[in-house]
Structure 1
Amino acid sequence: MLGRLGVDNVSPVISLGQVPAKATVGQVFPVSAQVWREGHDAISATLVVRRPAGSEGGRAKITMTAEEGDNVDVRHALFVPDVPGLWTFRVDAWSDPFATWFNAITKKVDAGQDAALLANDLETGARLFERAKEKVSRGHVATIDSVIAALRDESLPLESRIEQALSPQVRAALERRPVRDMLTRGQEFQVLVEPLESAFGSWYEFFPRSTGGTDHAGNPIHGTFLTSEKDLPRIAAMGFDTIYLPPIHPIGKINRKGKNNTLTPTKEDVGSPWAIGSDEGGHEAIHPELGTVEDFAHFVKTAEELGLKVALDLALQCAPDHPWAKEHPEWFTVLPDGSIAYAENPPKKYQDIYPLNFDNDPDGLYLAVRDVVRLWIERGVRVFRVDNPHTKPTEFWHWLINDIHRTDPDVVFLAEAFTRPPRLYGLAKAGFTQSYSYFTWKTSKEELEEFATDVAEGADVFRPNLFVNTPDILHESLQTGGRAVFAIRAALAATMSPLWGVYSGYELFEHIPVHEGSEEYLDSEKYQLRPRNFAQAAADGDSLEPWITSLNNWRKTNPALQQQRNLHLHETTNENMLAYSRIDAVSGNAVLVVVNLDPHNVQEGTITVDLEAVGLDQGANYEVLDLPTNQIFRWSEENYVRLDPDFQVAHILRLPDVPESRRAALAFRDEDYDPRG
């Protein structure tokens, strides 16, 4: 329904306002709208922000600013939420009688009209200021009285009568307490504000069962939670804050897979952790060889003392001998011959896994899964990496996540959804805090620039967690790019998104596939124990740990690298060089990243810095600090860069801080492209 004044194209609004936009505590949340009216009188807009129920402070009103040039109907404002919870915002439009009066009388005076011709305008102004007198703060009342008296004092020259009314001090007072006519209240929209930890983090994935080392004959020993604890200080020292464990439940014995996914296991084969459940228990149980519930609790406590959160895999599938397969066959798909269907992705077959069917008994299955999640929350888990969520009903995830967040709003759900954009965004709208993405397969400059744009401009909907590798994905570039490519991909992931992740072994440059053309690792840890000697590799200088540690440290000390918004691409003359900047509109911190995408060769070229995008004046000369080398360079708009992959794969440059006066404007750049559709 149209109001007296027009309020259109409010952004961000997700799915016509049916689901909230996403925001982060302490980071800017930009809002824009088109406001319009008939005729020539001035129109203004106010952003009205309401805090979550129960929090202190009530609501805030923020005057929106107009774009310059032809887009004067577009208004912008931003706010910085300071507490998590469900916020709301709306855009109110109103007729601005003072702006109309200021514009009219200024033009008439400039046209040479005298006091006699402006008598009605002067009296109109006086009456407006009488209205304003009722709204301004007490400290401005005397000033307003003086303005009113001057406007009505026919003994004064015209310039003197209006001089005080047009002064910056008076106009500032009126802006703080405006006189508003024809107020048109806009529709209210929701914003889900989550803690910084939900939107900024560094993940490290490892298998506890591979931490047992080897026996005297060199054979792997099954690890436990106790042996896993010995690895936690090393992971924390690299700057990671989340450790992700693949399923830790009992592993099915029926149709168990052998090494390298064979169908002929030996009695020593440990099977895939994703084939969950056996006669030893299901999703609520712990694999006996890993330890007990008490051992897990001690592991979580040790991790927390080191500043690490424990993320647990939530894989909603069952081995053939999972207790649910016997107790609740209705939770699966039963074939005409009476057998339960195992998972298939033709021509691939997963005989060790039964997919769940959420349509046969949704009430029973929904509640059973919720009970499992709540049980692990009680055991100290606040982060869940969800396996293949796009193969389960989206409405189920919306129900489950909302149900959990009603009592535990800080619990994080990461969607492992390598799927088409509508599904990816749909899961994020359903409530997932973070999402996997197609970063792993983006390697060319063109692909990375398109991906980076999607990352930045999708911030209202989804938060991509850029994993450089996973147990399932050893990209061809890592197989053939040599050691430099590992540093390159880590630099891209750690600076292109505030969320990134590493699967164990990446720091050791593990790169051998099971066969040519495959993205599976040879001797995949999914099917066997794979102990690693990280200490020896580090002692030999044969580890990427120092580079990873530096990347995580720079991320923590530069708020610009904690942002998903405000990524801006800069021109390069070399197709093997990628340049982009990030700014933090709250602190003004600014970082420019230049990466050599070629792991085999030295690349050089000119980087043209869009100075306006990083808050610098045209023609500026400025100092930049190169974080990898701690060198200071003198830069301008165009700069020569040479990067040798054997020595330095990237410049990560700390730029001068953006002046406070320019930060808000930069928060609204590059809004033409909308990845939400």
Structure 2
Amino acid sequence: MTGRFPIEDVTPAVSGGRYPAKAVVGEVVPVSAVSYREGHHALGVSVAWRGPDGKTMPFTRMTPGTPGLDQWHATIRPDQVGRWTFSIEAFDDPYRTWRDAVVKKIGAGQGAEDLANDLSEGADILDLATKIVPAEHEERVRDAAAALRDRQRSLFSRVTPALDLEELLWHNPVRHLVTTTRSFAVWVDRKRALYSAWYEFFPRSEGAEIGPDATPIRHGDFRTAALRLPAIAEMGFNVVYLPPIHPIGKINRKGRNNTLVARPQDVGSPWAIGSDEGGHDAIHPQLGTLEDFVAFRERAEELGMEVALDLALQAAPDHPWVREHPEFFTTKADGTIAYAENPPKKYQDIYPINWDNDYRALRDEVYRVVMHWVNAGVKIFRVDNPHTKAVNFWQWLIPKVKETDPDVLFLAEAFTRPAMMNGLGKIGFTQSYTYFTWRNSAAEMREYLEQLLTSIDWMRPNFWPNTPDILHESLQHGGPAMFKIRSVLASMLAPSWGLYSGYELFEHVARPGSEEYIDNEKFELKPRDYAGAERSGRSLAPYLTKLNRIREQNPALHWLRNLRFHEIDNGALLCFSKRDAETGNTVLGIVSFDSTDVQWGNTTLDMPALGLDWHDRFTVVDQITGATYEWGQYNAVRIDPYVEPAHIFVVRAG
């Protein structure tokens, strides 16, 4: 920044502006800065922002925050996908300086003769303003300037028209000594980048048949998997995520439960990608053809869902890359290619990528693969373990894809160090998995969400109660109520959430001593009787449907920036709210983390966060049970996990 006035601490500015901040179409994005000047003259501050096409948006003036801190605030609301830019401008505001002085002098008893210079200066300022205000206001401003110069009028009638221009000249100010910061970027995605509900399932298990000892008799395919789509859509999910759909390696194939030696009939792990049947741009022959996949995707879209594909950059020993591009991998001293290891775990069926042998060729090959699927209609990728790949590669790939297809979204499956997770968000990943699964008390969850709110400009969380790899002990031992608790927390706290199939059937048996499912679907077919479970009342599907319907009907739940926590005097309970300022929609949630015992609590609500005054009474309507209560700031709450472990209230003014 160069110019007359200091401008500091601009937000959003990710890593000082090195990376674009994130937003979605229609999101209200807060902008702030610190700016100040010498003396008592008025300072104005504004946001100059431009759309992806370079078009300048309407003048947006910033308002001062807490007195004495010189912090200025405004909001912008981008309305299209692409790279937006903004800068902060500080300027001398002669009208406000003049107005403040005149009001004080008249209040001190000074008359027209004392104010002769002030009246003349004010008229000159209004002459400048006539060139700035919209055409329909020019005459009004011109008349106010003439009144200031008319000595035949009383002092009151001379100054009143000019003083009444305060609001008009706030939004259309005369600006002197304009100082401008550098440009900051905001990448704006379509709304699904922030608000989404994911459902993960293995197409090969849908319509499959198995015999004794999980012996495959019939392998599911895209046609049979498509029969599952209406039920997923009915539950309210809008993203169907498929594990890798490519040919599975035959060399060193893993057997059931990750055993080192597979039986001839074992189907192997979809993440061991590639065989003599093809690599990352091919489809497993037993799933069908590319045409079958496109038909599956189109069916999902007919039902209001998108298909997300897994992008797992690794290879089975018989992947075509191993033969055609051995330089993509690491060769050990004995001449063999190194397989993946995470001691004590060994993955003999997977070769990790080496990013330092022939980076450019590898980069271009992965881009080709991604664009192959983009051209097949895929707009969402769930990226497997991106933190084990070169960060600069992602920093190149994601913007490269968005150059031609800005609607493509990337979810980072990165359960790793915070710096890496945040870094992946900064360099372009649309969403990220999180530590949600391992935050299992109200205090832990609140602390974690408050932490995530500080990184909202670059990292969008996606909350998952379970995955094929993760069955937390709370689900192993917490009973059906815990399945409800975790799904309420995931779906209500985060705008994006997801779960892995089987959750609605309360699958909870783990391999002893681990957080992994026994008889893991990663290594075998697992057909499920969803319809039978629903008929017998042993399915969580109706509850999940209700949660997603609540999300859809309440715009407050579509955002994360609006999350606020409220005090409650029981550590087993979490109290939070979200409010949509545009519609006034307000959701208040109280969730128990105890799946076995009744819990009581007393709330102390932050009433302004609910859009209410401190003394207001209001009505809350429970969206799960339909019960209605009259509430105020202080309320007693009883939660019985065997009835309902959570309240999800919509707040209605009294």
Q: For residue 176 of structure 1, what is the amino acid of its counterpart?
A: H
1:181 is aligned to 2:176: yes
Kindly report which structure 2 residues correspond to 1:113-262, keeping only aligned pairs within 5 A, or say none: 113-167=110-164, 170-214=165-209, 220=216, 221-262=218-259
Superposed displacement of residue 118, structure 1: 2.3
> Structure 1 residues 350, 215: closer, same or farther in 2, change over 3 A?
closer
Q: Residues of 2 paired with 1:586 and 1:363: CA distance?
A: 48
Q: Residues of 1 paired with 2:557 and 2:422: CA distance?
A: 23
Please tell me whether the aligned partners of residues 47 and 62 of structure 1 are also in contact (alpha carbons under 8 angstroms): yes
* Correspondence for 2:387 among 362, 385, 390: 390
- State the aligned residue count: 652
> Structure 1 residues 215, 190: closer, same or farther in 2, change over 3 A?
closer
| DSSP-derived class of the 2:459 partner | coil
1:491 is aligned to 2:488: yes
Q: For residue 174 of structure 2, what is the amino acid of its counterpart?
A: V
Residues 217-245 of structure 1: per-residue CA shift (max 9 Å, x gap): 78653211111111111101000011111
* Correspondence for 1:473 among 470, 474, 490: 470
Residues 106-141 of structure 1: per-residue CA shift (max 9 Å, x gap): 222222223332222222222222222332334333
Residue 584 of structure 2 corresponds to 588
Residues 18-54 of structure 1: per-residue CA shift (max 9 Å, x gap): 2111011011011001111111111011111111117
Q: Residues of 2 paired with 1:213 and 1:129: CA distance?
A: 79
Q: Residues of 2 paired with 1:428 and 1:234: CA distance?
A: 32
Residues 314-345 of structure 1: per-residue CA shift (max 9 Å, x gap): 11111111111122211110000001111011
Q: Residues of 1 paired with 2:477 and 2:418: CA distance?
A: 29
> Structure 1 residues 135, 614: closer, same or farther in 2, change over 3 A?
same
Q: Residues of 2 paired with 1:456 and 1:631: CA distance?
A: 31
* Correspondence for 1:413 among 410, 415, 423: 410
| DSSP-derived class of the 1:165 partner | helix
- Structure 1 alignment gaps of length 5 or more: 659-677
* Correspondence for 2:562 among 553, 559, 566: 566
Residue 605 of structure 1 corresponds to 601
Residue 64 of structure 1 corresponds to 62
Please tell me whether the aligned partners of residues 455 and 497 of structure 1 are also in contact (alpha carbons under 8 angstroms): no
Q: Which 10-residue stretch deviates more, 333-342 or 144-153?
A: 144-153
Superposed displacement of residue 215, structure 1: 5.8
Residues 267-303 of structure 1: per-residue CA shift (max 9 Å, x gap): 1211111111112211111112212222212211211
- Structure 2 alignment gaps of length 5 or more: none
| DSSP-derived class of the 1:41 partner | coil
| DSSP-derived class of the 2:209 partner | coil
Q: Which 10-residue stretch deviates more, 583-592 or 202-211?
A: 583-592
> Structure 1 residues 190, 657: closer, same or farther in 2, change over 3 A?
farther
* Correspondence for 2:437 among 421, 437, 440: 440
Residue 336 of structure 2 corresponds to 339
Q: Residues of 1 paired with 2:369 and 2:146: CA distance?
A: 74
Superposed displacement of residue 530, structure 1: 1.1
Residues 81-127 of structure 1: per-residue CA shift (max 9 Å, x gap): 11111111111110011111111122222222233322222222222
| DSSP-derived class of the 1:333 partner | coil
Residue 95 of structure 1 corresponds to 92
Residue 623 of structure 1 corresponds to 619
* Backbone CA RMSD of aligned residues: 1.7
* Correspondence for 2:277 among 277, 280, 290: 280
Q: Residues of 2 paired with 1:117 and 1:532: CA distance?
A: 89
Superposed displacement of residue 58, structure 1: 3.8
Please tell me whether the aligned partners of residues 401 and 432 of structure 1 are also in contact (alpha carbons under 8 angstroms): yes
Residue 328 of structure 1 corresponds to 325
Please tell me whether the aligned partners of residues 415 and 436 of structure 1 are also in contact (alpha carbons under 8 angstroms): yes
Superposed displacement of residue 397, structure 1: 0.7
* Correspondence for 1:430 among 418, 422, 427: 427
Kindly report which structure 2 residues correspond to 1:367-406, keeping only aligned pairs within 5 A, or say none: 367-406=364-403
Q: Residues of 1 paired with 2:80 and 2:248: CA distance?
A: 41
Q: Residues of 2 paired with 1:148 and 1:292: CA distance?
A: 76
Please tell me whether the aligned partners of residues 589 and 657 of structure 1 are also in contact (alpha carbons under 8 angstroms): no
Residue 48 of structure 1 corresponds to 48
Residue 531 of structure 2 corresponds to 535
Q: Which 10-residue stretch deviates more, 293-302 or 111-120?
A: 111-120
Residue 31 of structure 1 corresponds to 31
Residue 4 of structure 1 corresponds to 4
Q: Residues of 1 paired with 2:123 and 2:247: CA distance?
A: 81
